[in-house]
């Protein structure tokens, strides 16, 4: 019997894990997932694409040290992007294919963060904690919906954010095996 490929998810966060498993089921026939707590080496709330992608690279490096036998390593970072039109939240995914020594990149849609919240952002605090206080959300709501979900009243959750970024990263190199697969 063929051994299932190991997908290492560089986070224990439920939303991130759900996103990875949901999307990879469409691209990889059989796999087993392992979640690891990894260090990003960047701010609690990374600012800009560069810091977000760097955080993903650092998580992959940490995961490789913890579990060197993976096929794919999937790292995700939620970031803020500052523009002249305001501050936006989005998620980056970097996937490392150890077998081919290749990296794949994907970013999610962006959601504007209200200016009143932006004024309270700190690099030492998680954005979700600031948003929760601002909109008076419970810990359960923050955990279930993430910052995106709270800001969009549940229309675009953290899981949705990372499904988008994982799909953009993996689909650049893998053909779908379910759904729209061409036979």
From CA 158, how far away is CA 144, in angstroms rounded? 8
pTM of this prediction? 0.90
We report the CATH number of the domain holding residue 32 as: 3.90.950.10
Q: What is the pLDDT of residues 53-81, one digit of tens each?
A: 999 999 999 999 999 999 999 999 999 99
Mean local confidence (pLDDT), 84-92: 96
Residue closest to 171 by CA, chosen among 57, 89, 93 = 93
Mean pLDDT over each residue of the chain, to the nearest integer: 90
The reply to whether 85 falls in a domain is yes
The reply to whether 128 falls in a domain is no
pLDDT at 182 exceeding the cut of 50: no
The reply to whether 129 falls in a domain is no
Question: Going by C-beta distance under 8 Å and a sequence separation of 6 or more, which residues neighbour residue 167?
Answer: 23, 106
Q: What is the pLDDT of residues 90-99, one digit of tens each?
A: 999 999 999 9
The reply to whether 132 falls in a domain is no
How high is the pLDDT of residue 65? 98
pLDDT band (50, 70, 90) for residue 125? confident
From CA 71, how far away is CA 38, in angstroms rounded? 17
From CA 31, how far away is CA 14, in angstroms rounded? 18
From CA 106, how far away is CA 12, in angstroms rounded? 20
The reply to whether 43 falls in a domain is yes
pLDDT band (50, 70, 90) for residue 1? low
The reply to whether 178 falls in a domain is no
The residue among 105 and 129 whose pLDDT is bigger is 105
Quote the number of domains for the chain.
1
The reply to whether 47 falls in a domain is yes
How high is the pLDDT of residue 181? 36
How high is the pLDDT of residue 179? 45
């Amino acid at each position: 019997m063929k051994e299932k490929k190991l997908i290492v998810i560089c986070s224990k966060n439920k939303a991130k894990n759900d996103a990875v498993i949901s999307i990879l089921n469409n691209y990889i026939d059989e796999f087993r997932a392992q979640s690891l707590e990894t260090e990003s080496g960047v701010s609690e709330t990374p600012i800009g694409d560069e810091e977000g992608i760097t955080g993903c690279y650092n998580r992959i490096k940490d995961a490789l040290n913890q579990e060197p036998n993976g096929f794919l390593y999937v790292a995700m970072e939620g970031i803020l992007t500052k523009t002249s039109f305001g501050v936006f939240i989005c998620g980056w995914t970097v996937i490392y294919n150890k077998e081919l020594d290749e990296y794949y990149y994907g970013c999610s849609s962006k959601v504007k963060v209200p200016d009143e919240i932006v004024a309270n952002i700190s690099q030492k605090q998680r954005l979700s904690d600031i948003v929760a206080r601002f909109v008076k959300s419970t810990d359960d709501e923050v955990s279930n919906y993430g910052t995106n979900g709270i800001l969009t009243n549940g229309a675009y959750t953290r899981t949705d954010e990372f499904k988008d970024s994982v799909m953009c990263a993996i689909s650049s190199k893998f053909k779908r095996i379910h759904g729209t697969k061409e036979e």
